[in-house]
Amino acid sequence: MKIEPAASIDGAIAVPGVKGISQRAVLLGAIADGESRIEGFGRAADTETALSVVRGLGAEVEDDGSETVRVRGVGLRGLREADGPLDFGNAGTVLRLSAGILAGQEGRFELVGDESLSGRPQERIAEPLRRMGARIETTDGHAPVVIEGGPLTPIRYEPPMASAQVKSAVLLAGLLAEGGSTRVVERNPTRDHTERLLRELGVSVRRRGAEISVLPVERLPGVDIRIAGDFSSAAPFIVAATLLSGSELLVQGVNVNPLRTGLLDVLERMGANIAVFNRRSESGEPVADLEVRSAQLVATQVDGEEVPRLIDELPLVALAAGLARGETVVRGAAELRVKETDRIETVTTSLKALGVRIAASEDGFRVRGVPTRPRGGGVESFGDHRLAMLGAVAGLVSREGVRLEGSEAVAISFPGFFDLLESVTQR
Ligand code: S3P
């Protein structure tokens, strides 16, 4: 696909529902009693995976392809062994959160994924779940992961890395662990979609200082929620509108959970012009509309403490930094190396090929920005949806456009991405 340079971004958009909440709602709906109704379900390959996995485990899914999905749960311990391996495709969140739930189910479960997912570390969930009493084996630390579930006991666990997926796997297993509260210590807060959704279901989840605790439950009521737009899907549009002078973009109904919107803080420090208004609350999550106007940016620093709040947006930060006056340094982001691709490598390789002066470090990157359009050229997504979207935005803000190979990877989180982008692009 060739992405031609754009003059500006102009118009109003809404993006599909939060991927991570869609996945969590399906997984919890599967072990609830009775029916769950999920409105604003974020349609994408990674959320379809959640549906196919719970179907494989015996839950019923009613799905007419609309934005509302219904799941008929089988009860807290009612999941049954699948006929064969459960295929998680590219969906790391679904695999890791399912592992927490399956650890407490009777039966043997084999969890497999695609090539990218099979290269990602899984001992990070296996280790705490073993401590809770599950029998769980990884393949040299990776998928296939085999779980023989059974009775669990509560633990207090401090993950060695900031990860919402690890935290969530332990908390979900904690729902099934009898004899007290399961606790996760998190010095550097990560997204709390799991905690908020559990609270919506009446589960006792507390945060005291750095410690989050959950009490086991006898049963879960059905989920009944409305999911707002995914901030990570809005992010490429926000960055494009900021970088292209004369832009005016309205983003309607986007989730603004403060543990997800670090990009707004970083862009604000860089001089961006973004208004957040119509703040409201929907199903326990903060939602707002955003108005983005273009601005000339200056360099900034991003360090480890801020990183979890914009981990999936750091590729876009690198591009924005390329057009900002001065040197931007991102540190403490080594987790980028174990995403769908090694995003420190893939982001620096891609942006360098387009003329951005960027250098990788062990745990981040350094960008020497200049306030002019980068040249452009050819890049590859490496099958990584965030890289494909980065390439698209880079094409719009470039002088000569970008030839993007593997653009179809956007379907992992946002199948309608290119159509929506085209609808607000002025040439
Ligand atoms: C996610 C957590 C993050 C994030 C991922 C989604 C989630 O991963 O990068 O895209 O929904 O919990 P880690 O927990 O590995 O940091």
Would you give per-residue pLDDT tens digits along the chain (427 residues)? 999 999 999 999 999 999 999 999 999 999 999 999 999 999 999 999 999 999 999 999 999 999 999 999 999 999 999 999 999 999 999 999 999 999 999 999 999 999 999 999 999 999 999 999 999 999 999 999 999 999 999 999 999 999 999 999 999 999 999 999 999 999 999 999 999 999 999 999 999 999 999 999 999 999 999 999 999 999 999 999 999 999 999 999 999 999 999 999 999 999 999 999 999 999 999 999 999 999 999 999 999 999 999 999 999 999 999 999 999 999 999 999 999 999 999 999 999 999 999 999 999 999 999 999 999 999 999 999 999 999 999 999 999 999 999 999 999 999 999 999 999 999 9
Protein residue whose Cα sits closest to atom 16 of ligand 1:
163
- Distance CA(375)–CA(344), nearest Å, equals 21
Tell me the Ramachandran region of residue 138: left when phi exceeds 0, alpha when psi lies from -120 to 50, beta otherwise.
beta
- Nearest atom in ligand 1 to the alpha carbon of residue 311 is 9
* CB of 111 shorter than 6 A to ligand 1: no
* CB of 311 shorter than 6 A to ligand 1: yes
* Residue keyed to tokens 């991003």: 302
- Distance CA(107)–CA(296), nearest Å, equals 57
- On whether the CB atoms of residues 113 and 95 are closer than 8 A, the answer is yes
- Nearest atom in ligand 1 to the alpha carbon of residue 165 is 14
Looking at 46, 192, 289, 312, which residue is catalytic? 312
- On whether the CB atoms of residues 87 and 52 are closer than 8 A, the answer is yes
What's the pLDDT score for residue 377?
A: 98
What's the pLDDT score for residue 343?
A: 98
- On whether the CB atoms of residues 61 and 14 are closer than 8 A, the answer is no
- Distance CA(249)–CA(424), nearest Å, equals 8
What's the pLDDT score for residue 268?
A: 98
- SS3 for 87? strand
What's the pLDDT score for residue 190?
A: 98
- Inter-axis angle of helices 417-424 and 231-243, to 10 degrees? 30
For this structure, is 224 an active site residue?
Answer: no
Ligand 1: distance of its center to the CA of 375 in Å? 32
- On whether the CB atoms of residues 242 and 6 are closer than 8 A, the answer is no
What's the pLDDT score for residue 92?
A: 98
* CB of 93 shorter than 6 A to ligand 1: yes
- Closest among 403, 42, 406 to 233, alpha carbons compared: 42
* CB of 380 shorter than 6 A to ligand 1: no
Distances (CA, A) of 25 to 32, 143, 184, 363: 10, 23, 21, 33
- Nearest atom in ligand 1 to the alpha carbon of residue 97 is 12
CB atoms under 10 Å from CB of 277, counted, come to 8
What's the pLDDT score for residue 45?
A: 98
Q: Would you give the distance in Å from CA 219 to the centre of its chain?
A: 28
* Residue keyed to tokens 């509309």: 289
- Closest among 426, 380, 384, 376 to 409, alpha carbons compared: 384
Question: What's the Rg (C-alpha) of the chain?
Answer: 21
Distances (CA, A) of 384 to 91, 311, 331, 340: 11, 14, 22, 6
Protein residue whose Cα sits closest to atom 10 of ligand 1:
312
